[in-house]
Amino acid sequence: MGTALVTADLAIVAVQLDGIAVLRTRRAAGIPTVVIVDHPTIETLLAIVGLAAEGLVLMTSPAAAVADCLTVVASGKQWLDSEATRLIIDRVARPAPPILTRRERDVANLVAAGQRNRTIAERLSITEGTVKMHLHNVYGKLGIESRTQLAMELRVCGV
């Protein structure tokens, strides 16, 4: 990075222009930084927050919000766009889908396809008891009680 960044009072970077790398450099130099995000993904927003940007605005924010952000950050405080805040809170409030093992996913997909336990066991070269054990684990992880609910969950959420 050039010396202009090191001597700046405030940096404004856009994520699509590798703003994350600039944010890392600015953090080392102690320069307050506002990051502008054009297509906010939760991963990008969390990376920006994790790198302690002083300001975060979306490209779609009204000009008044951008001006407010710059004023707040220039005064030594932090600013987080309200839409970005909502996206982050939605992610934190909504638990991540449970992680199924590869074999649990195999069994679940075959159940969702309408296969019976015996057929699943033969196809996967396991016993029917093992199929039942995997189904029991899947039901517990997903909070469901039936094959029908499992099929619906897989269609809706793609677990």
pLDDT of residue 1: 44
Q: Which two tokens stand for residue 31?
A: 């320069």
CATH of 3-93, one of 3.50.50.60, 3.40.50.2300, 3.90.1150.10, 3.30.470.20: 3.40.50.2300
What's the mean pLDDT in 89-106? 83
CB 141 within 8 A of CB 100: yes
Query: What is the CATH code of the structural domain delimited by 102-157?
Result: 1.10.10.10
Q: What is the pTM of this model?
A: 0.52
Q: Where are the domains of the chain?
A: 3-93, 102-157
Question: Considering the chain, what is the average pLDDT of its residues?
Answer: 83
pLDDT at 72 over 80: yes
Secondary structure (3-state) at 14:
strand
Higher pLDDT, 138 or 16: 138
> Hey, do 3-93 and 102-157 end up sharing a CATH topology, with the first three levels equal?
no
Distances (CA, A) of 134 to 14, 57, 75, 145: 46, 45, 57, 13
pLDDT at 38 over 50: yes
pLDDT of residue 157: 67
